[in-house]
Structure formats: structure tokens, C-alpha cells
Amino acid sequence: MRNTIVSLLAVLFGLLAGAVLMAVTGHDPIEGYKYLMQGGLKNTERIGNTLATATPLIFTGLSVAFAFRTGLFNIGAAGQMLIGGLCATAIGLTFDWPRAVLLTAMILAGFIGGALWAFLPGLLKAKYNVHEVVSTIMLNWIAYWTVYYAVPAYFKAESLETESRLLPESATLRVAGLSEMFDGSFINLGIFLGLIGVIVMAFIIDRTTLGYELKAVGFNRHAAEYGGIAVNRSIVLSMLISGGLSGLGGMVQYAGNAANIQIGILPSQGFDGIAVALLGANAPGGVLLAAIFFGLLYSGRGFMNAMTEVPPEIADSIIAIIIYFAATSILIERLVRRFRGRLSLNRPKASSQPGKGD
């Protein structure tokens, strides 16, 4: 309940700050928010696009949240997305298998690629206590340049060197029936993979011995080791799972929302996953709702800009402010406690004097 209140207050403060920014720049906040919501929810197609936009954020949010819950800070989701997407794209462009087999292989390749990219930071953390923030940031850029080299060298499009060849229809997550259900939006099977990921993470974290051990290591590494838990193995395994989730985010981005992979772009969803995890209080259900909310903001900002001339940077500012308040949740908690304390002080106390009939 406390985390829910903090998250809702972070969103409220972000929206209020956005309203102030709109007013200061000479725009009507009510009109701006009306078109922002319409841009993501106006019709079935826009709802589908919002869900599709949210799908990679579900995976990167789960990735960061899983690492947080186990005492790690995986800031390398962007690089893990790239490598996962590259591995999935390589499978899709290389093999001509039946669609079910090909997509399964691409999903596995995406997860394994992201997991392997997170293995080194996990190993360095476990063996030499190298902070994972430093190593994952460095690997983000190694992933960037790996894709920058590999795509033109092995998977170059016929007319452009800046992107890979288009995946065949059998190697994408797009399904005509699902798209038609949402009036031609680019929603795809990735949303179902995201929902499965939420359920699986919740089960692992809260219902398994593995989840208990990983959380114990996150709470207190030395106490967990004293209790007989293999701490180093738990750290590496946590990073593998976290990286694998980000790799799946790359797979659904480049084989679902898009049909190829481009060079020279470090996916913003990797960093936005940090905000999604913070706003979702590192809980799988909270991550799902936070990802959909961010998907709504991203889908609606273009429509808001087209209809009102409100700069799309306003939506980015709203997101940044929400991240700030979610990251500094301790300040909001203090405000909540102070407010509750004042309420309790203002309540009339029951009389301690005995009644007349005593």
C-alpha cells in the first residue's frame, strides 16, 4: 500500500509539473492533457499502439526490477537489448524454419544473448566486487559498436548500410488477426510474452527457493553467506536473468514493433526501464502498469503536439519529473508520514476521566 501511494504521488506531481510547464509556455494544460490521453487511447488502433510501445518497457522494467530486488543495479539494459535483438535478428535472417520453431528459436536467442551480455558484469561483481553500474555502462557502448559493425558486415540491407535486411513475415511477432482486432495497429505477440514475463518473475521472486535466496543476497550478502547461500552463484544468476529479460525486450522491439535492426541507436527503452522499475516499486504488477503508463505518454505526445502545438519535450519533461519523484521516494514517504502525523494530532482524544456513573 505504501509503495502504491508513493508511485501515485510521483505520477501526480509529474502531471502537475507538466501542467505548470504548459501554462508557463502559453498553452492550456487541460487541452494538452486531453489530446495526450486521446493520442494513446482515442480509438482501438491507438490503444493497440500504446500496448505495443509499452511492450519493450515491460521487459526492461522487469529486468531492472529483478536486479533491484536482488541487490543489484543493472543499468546495462540498453546494451542487453541490442545484443538480444541482434541474436534474434541473426536467427530470423539465417534460417528458414516453420514459423513456430523459428519464433521459439528467436525468443531463446534473444534471452540467451541478453543473459550472456550480463554475465561478465555479474562475474566481475561476484569475484572482484566490481560495481555493476560501471561494467554495465561500459558494455552498453561495446554492444553499440558490436551492432554497428555486425549489421553492415553480415546482415546489411540491399539499399542501406545503416540497417539490417527486413525480417521475413515468418520471423516477426506480427499476426494479421491481432493487428486487425486493433484496427491495423502495430500490436503484436510481444504483449503476450510481456504478460508471461510478469507472471514468471512474480512466481520466481515470491514463490520459489531460488527467489528467496536471491532476495536474501540482495538484503544482506554476508548474512546470506553465513546462512549457507552460494552468494557468488546467486549474483551471477541474478544478472543472467536480468540480462535475459532485457534481451527479450530487444527481441520484441526488433522483431515485433519493427522488422529490422538499425545501427547507431542505443535504445532508449533500456534506460526508461529504470524509470518503469522505480515507478512500479520493483513489483512485477507495478512494472506492468508503469510500462503501460509510459507507453501512453510516448504514444500520445505526438498527437498532443500536432493538435495543440505543445512541444513534445513537455511529455519528456513529465517523464523526467516522475522519474525524479519515484527515485526520491523517501521524500514522498516523509511527506506522507508528516501528513498522517498531523491528522493523528488533530484527532480529538478520548476522555480519560471516569463517567458520572462510575
Asked if residues 106 and 251 have their Cβ atoms less than 8 Å apart, the reply is: yes
Cell 557502448 locates to 141
CA torsion sign for 185, 186, 190, 195 is negative
Enter the DSSP assignment of 356. T
pLDDT confidence of residue 339: 66
pLDDT (tens digit, 0 to 9) for every residue of the chain, 358 residues total?
Answer: 667 777 888 888 888 988 998 898 888 899 989 998 999 998 999 999 999 999 999 999 999 999 999 999 999 999 999 999 999 999 999 999 999 999 999 999 999 999 999 999 999 999 999 999 999 999 999 999 999 999 999 999 988 889 999 999 999 999 999 999 999 999 999 999 999 999 999 999 999 999 999 999 988 888 988 889 999 999 999 999 999 999 999 999 999 999 999 999 999 999 999 989 988 989 999 999 999 999 998 888 888 888 888 887 777 787 788 777 776 665 666 666 676 667 666 666 555 455 544 4
pTM: 0.90
pLDDT confidence of residue 270: 93
pLDDT confidence of residue 303: 86
Cell 531463446 locates to 108
In our burial notation (b when 16+ CB lie closer than 10 A, e otherwise), range 55-67 reads: bbbbbbbbbbbbb
DSSP bridge pairs for 156: 164
pLDDT confidence of residue 192: 97
pLDDT confidence of residue 15: 87
Q: Which of 80, 106, 357 is nearest to 244 (CA)?
A: 80
Asked if residues 231 and 126 have their Cβ atoms less than 8 Å apart, the reply is: yes
pLDDT confidence of residue 275: 87
At residue 156, the 3 state secondary structure works out as strand
Please name the residues in contact with 210: beta carbons below 8 A apart, sequence gap of 6 or more: 204, 237
Would you state the cell numbers that stand for residue 42, as one nine-digit string? 482515442
pLDDT confidence of residue 357: 47
Count of CB atoms situated within 10 Å of the CB of 122: 28
DSSP letters, 24-79, are HTT--HHHHHHHHHHHHHSSHHHHHHHHHHHHHHHHHHHHHHHHHHTT-----HHH
pLDDT confidence of residue 353: 52
